[in-house]
Amino acid sequence: MRSWWPRLLGLLLLLVALPACGQDADLHTQASRPAVRETHAMPAGAERVEVGIYPTIVNALDAAGSTYDVTAYVWLKWKGPIDPSAHLEFVNLVQRYDFTREALFDKPQAQPGGGAYQILQIHGRFFQPFEFANFPFDRQALTLELHDEYRAHENLVYEPDDRDSGYASDLEIPGWRILGWRSHAIVRDYASSFGGARGSSYAGLRYELVIARHTNYFLWKLFLPLLIVLCANWLALMIDPELVDVRTALPATSLLTMVFLQQSYSSELPEIGTLVLMDKIYACAYLLVMATLFQVIFMRSWQKSGAAVPDARVSYYDRIGLSVHLALFATVVLLVLHSGGVF
């Protein structure tokens, strides 16, 4: 009997390593200048504004929609004649009808060392496209991006207040752990002056609260149910070869169960059109279940072909197949996790 395990292994490795390919050739691009870039240079004559951000509440996080509600304090400190708090715009704000911005002072307060200071309390729903390639080990950045809606980069420059920015010590996001935060000045280039003569580049600031899912979510809610179903499938290789109905029913039932398990976590994700990390593990599991079913059918057909194969010999090949299945599944899972940067 020819061995087909090397071919199966090659196919699984190909599925794991296969990159996404293909690109529409008729798309219009603006590759001549980036949409957003970091900046450290300050144009001559531009007013310097120091900005700090401090979230206190993050809730209603919708991973599929890449949106989240944020309540935060935003303060600005400046020394020039321009009041940057008057025309502060949050670029990634959605549901603007529900956005609230309350200035804690009726007018900017004078600073002891000169200049002015204003602090705002904001609450709104924001959008930042999530990356799901490494789901369920994905890391997301909950972003607040702001700039002045009237003054171009040549007139106003933001600088992060890293000393006082951060997030509330009691801030919790159910299902996620907070890894940290970062803030940096950017320049957003719209590649258009919008029909005027005020320029196309606007200075801004981006604050990111970096979060990740708990590892237990993968272990207990995703991997453990899949492993239980696979073990039920592999029981078919440990049952008496004469019990053909049971040996074929177990893989078939496991296959249907795995479909429902995959749909349960896929409902939390948007339609991204590519395989996420968990999908690759499921692809391996599907092939192993099909291999179990094929092995059971092949062994029974071999016995019925008149070759007079004893049950003991069938059980011997079943044990070999089970060992190969276990080794193959463990290898593919480790390769997938490693390719996703999990370890």
Question: pLDDT of 40-72, one tens digit each?
Answer: 455 556 788 899 999 999 999 998 899 999 999
CA atoms within 13 A of residue 161's CA, in its CB half-sphere: 19
With b meaning 16 or more CB within 10 Å and e meaning fewer, what string describes 103-112? eeeeebeeee
Which listed CATH number (3.40.50.300, 2.70.170.10, 1.10.10.10, 1.20.1440.230) goes with 36-213? 2.70.170.10
Domain with CATH 1.20.58.390 in the chain: 216-339
Name the residue among 157, 212, 191 with its Cα closest to residue 35.
Answer: 191
- Does pLDDT of 34 surpass 50? no
Nearest to 153 by CA among 52, 23, 41, 248: 41
Give residue-wise pLDDT tens across range 176-208: 999 999 999 888 777 666 666 556 677 889 999
Convert the pLDDT of each residue in 294-329 to its tens digit.
999 888 887 777 667 787 888 888 899 999 999 999
CB–CB of 288/230 below 8 Å? yes
207 forms bridges with which residues in the sheet? 144, 183
85-103 pLDDT, tens digit each: 888 889 899 988 889 999 9
For CATH 2.70.170.10, list the domain ranges present in the chain. Answer: 36-213
- Whether 71 and 123 have beta carbons less than 8 Å apart is answered as yes
How is domain 216-339 classified at the architecture level of CATH?
Up-down Bundle (1.20)
Structure letter (DSSP) for residue 235: G
Q: What is the pLDDT of residue 41?
A: 53
Q: What phi, psi does 176 have (nearest 5°)?
A: -135, 155
- Region of poorest pLDDT, from 67-71, 77-81, 100-104, 213-217: 77-81
pTM of the predicted model over 0.85: no
